[in-house]
Amino acid sequence: MMDFSPVGAFRFWQRNLLIFRKTFPFTVPENFLEPVVYLLALGLGLGAYLREIQGLPYVAFVATGLAASAAMFGATFECTYNAYVQFYYDRSYDAIVTTPLSAEDVAVGEVLWGATRSVIYGTAFLLVVALFGVARSLWALALPGVFFLGGVVFSTVALAFTAVTPSIDLFPYYFSLWITPMFMFSGIFFPLDALPGWVQTAAWFTPLYHVVRATRALAFGTPVAAVPEVVWLAAVAVVLLPVPAVLLRRRLVQ
């Protein structure tokens, strides 16, 4: 039985926003500086040898991919470590489910907040790399929407993991077995064309691959190419959203 109220989810989202406004400076390194370092190292370092890829300057190619990954990391850190600490150590969630908010409100509010962080970090990164001539089309203005959709998917998966993990020590596995492979094999640094077909097939089933493709399509002015990616993300978001809600209810209400 699900018990969900949009107002409740919004209240929880607002709470997270308030906390974010206070802790923002401490979250910049992991979410923002890291992709900048990658961009400088690869975009400029490797870019010196590798001028063009798929008809794009290599820096622009990597920068758009990294914007997508910034969105992924923003949502993922939120719904793994941040959520875990509040859930298990601060026990804030235990307190909140005795207010009018339900466990489902908390789960959905948390996912929406994770997606909001995707928008914040993805967009902020794009603004910085705009200096590298990355955004070549007004369609780039639609990118926050893509980051949001992608953020919902990243958050949903991460929060589902957080709701079932028996220990904080398992998060490194979440990152090494899921986030890092996605980061490497979603076409951020190199196109997947040269890899065996099964790698491309596997990549198709992961969200980052679609966020990367949608990001490039919009940034470089080929919006039609973004449509299937957005459809994929929206469909998966809708299908997966109830999962963390059910799992969190099981943890919070016995």
Partner 1 sequence: MALVEAEELLKRFGSLVAVDRISFQVREGECYGFLGPNGAGKTTTMRMVCCTARPTAGSLRVFGLDVRRHGRAIKRQLGVVHQSVTLDDALTVRENLVVYGRYFDLSWAEARRRADELLAFAELEARADERVSKLSGGMQRRLMIARALMANPRLLVLDEPTTGLDPQARHAVWDRLRQLKRGGVTQILTTHYMEEAEHLCDRVAIVDHGRIVAEGPPRELVERYVGREVVELQVAADGAPAWAVAEQAAGLAEGFEVAGDRVFLHTRDGEELVHRVRALRLPVEAVVLRRATLEDVFLRLTGRRLRE
- Residues lying near partner 1 in the complex (CB under 8 A) are found at 3, 5, 7-8, 11, 14-15, 18-19, 22-23, 86, 90-92, 94-102, 252-254
Nearest distance from C-beta of residue 22 to partner 1, angstroms: 6
- Provide, rounded to whole angstroms, the least separation between the CB of residue 15 and partner 1: 5
* Rounded distance between C-alpha atoms, residue 254 and residue 242, angstroms: 18
Quick one: 31 or 86, whose CB is closer to partner 1? Answer: 86
> How far apart, in Å, are the Cα atoms of 220 and each of 44, 189, 244?
20, 17, 35
Q: Is 219 helix (H, G, I), strand (E, B) or coil?
A: helix
- Nearest distance, CB of residue 241 and partner 1, angstroms: 20
Closest CB to partner 1 among 23 and 222? 23
Measured from the CB atom, is 27 or 206 closer to partner 1?
27
How far apart are alpha carbons 147 and 211 in whole angstroms? Answer: 7
Rounded to an integer, what distance in angstroms lies between the CA atom of residue 57 and that of residue 68? Answer: 17
Taking the complex as a whole, how short is the minimal distance between the CB of residue 193 and partner 1, in angstroms? 45
By beta-carbon proximity to partner 1, the closer residue of 66 and 252 is 252
At its nearest, how many Å lie between partner 1 and the CB of residue 92? 5
One-letter amino acid of 116: T
What's the Cα-to-Cα distance from 217 to each of 19, 59, 153, 177, 212, rounded to whole Å? 34, 16, 19, 28, 9
Which helix (H) or strand (E) element contains residue 57?
strand 56-57
Taking the least distance from each CB to partner 1, the nearer of 86 and 186 is 86
